[in-house]
Amino acid sequence: MDTDTLRLFVAAAERLNISAAGRSLGLAPAMASARLAKLEHELGAELLHRTTRKVSLSQEGDAFLPYAREILAQSEAGRAALGLNAAEPSGILRFAAPSSFAQLHIMPLLSAFHDRYPKITLDLRLSDTRFDLIEGSFDLALRSGPLQDSSLRGRKLADDTRILCAAPDYLARNGTPQIPEDLPGHEFLAWANVAPRTLIHIDGRRATLDPCKMICRTILDDGTSQRVATVACGGVSVNSLWSVAEELAAGRLVHILPDWRLDDASVLWLIYPRSNVLTPKVRCFMDFLLETLKPVLQRDQMNA
C-alpha cells in the first residue's frame, strides 16, 4: 500500500467526506473513491461505510486508523531526517490538554502559532478529564503529574505547584489560617477525591490537609470553575499556581499558608507515545509551547 492512499484514508476518516478528502489531496471524487476501494480490497476489510447521505468509519477502519497515522508519521520523519522535506511543516496535529490550562495559556497563542506555521491544522481535544493518548491517536498531550507510563515520552514544561488560596472577602469574614491546624471548619472547594493530602513547609515540616475536617459543600472537577468559585468567596481551595497567578497579582485571591505547599511533586509534561517519531509538525508545536509558555510559567513560580 502506498502512503498517498493512506494519507487519503486518514483525511477521509477525519472529515467523514471522501470528496473533500480527495480535493485536499488534489484528487477528483471518482479517483479518491477508486483509491480507497483498492486499499480496502488489499486489506480485505471495509474501512468506510458509505451511503448516499453520509460516510462513517467502520469498526475495522477505526482499528486501522492509528496504524495508518503511524506509517505516515514514520515516513514523514524519515524524509525529514534525509532532508527531503524542504517544505514547511504541514498536516493535522491532534493535541490533548486540560481545558482550564488551555483557556488561559494556549488559546491566546493560536494566532501566533498559525502565523508561523500556516500549513499546520490543530485538532484540539480540551478537557480536564484525561484522554488515553495512544487509543485516542493523539500526536501530543499536556499532562500534569509524574511521568510514570513507560509507553510515553515527554519534555518538561514547568513545575505544577499547587497552593492554597481564598478571596480577601472570605478571609475577612472567616479569618485567615496561619497554620495548617487552622483549616478545619473552613469552607473548602473540593475535588472528587477528598482523601487527606500532605502539606510540606519550606523547612521540611509536614502537616495534613484533611477535607473531611472542613466544610465541603461544593465538589468540582474543572480548574477554571475552581478558580472562579474561589474568587467569588466560595471558600479555601487548592489551585495550580499557573491557574491563579493573575488573580494573586491583582489581589482577587490571597495565597494562604504561603510557607506551605502540597507535597505532590506535580510537573507539566508535553508527552507523546514512545512508539512515535517526532514529526516536524509535532516538533514545531512542542518547541513553540516551550518557547512561549516556559518563561511565563517560570515567572509565576518566582513571583509566588
Domains of the chain: 1-69 (1.10.10.10), 87-159+266-304 (3.40.190.10), 162-262 (3.40.190.290)
Distances (CA, A) of 277 to 11, 104, 125: 20, 29, 21
pLDDT (0 to 100) of residue 274: 66
pLDDT (0 to 100) of residue 90: 84
pLDDT (0 to 100) of residue 153: 78
pLDDT (0 to 100) of residue 184: 95
pLDDT (0 to 100) of residue 70: 82
pLDDT (0 to 100) of residue 76: 73
pLDDT (0 to 100) of residue 97: 92
pLDDT (0 to 100) of residue 304: 62
CB 128 within 8 A of CB 223: yes
Distances (CA, A) of 244 to 75, 155, 241, 280: 42, 24, 5, 33
pLDDT (0 to 100) of residue 81: 57
pLDDT (0 to 100) of residue 235: 96
pLDDT (0 to 100) of residue 217: 92
Distance of CA 288 to the CA centre of its chain: 15
pLDDT (0 to 100) of residue 221: 83
Mean pLDDT per block of 10 residues along the chain (304 residues) reads 88 90 89 91 91 87 89 74 62 89 94 94 83 65 72 81 94 96 95 87 93 92 92 94 94 95 85 72 92 87 69
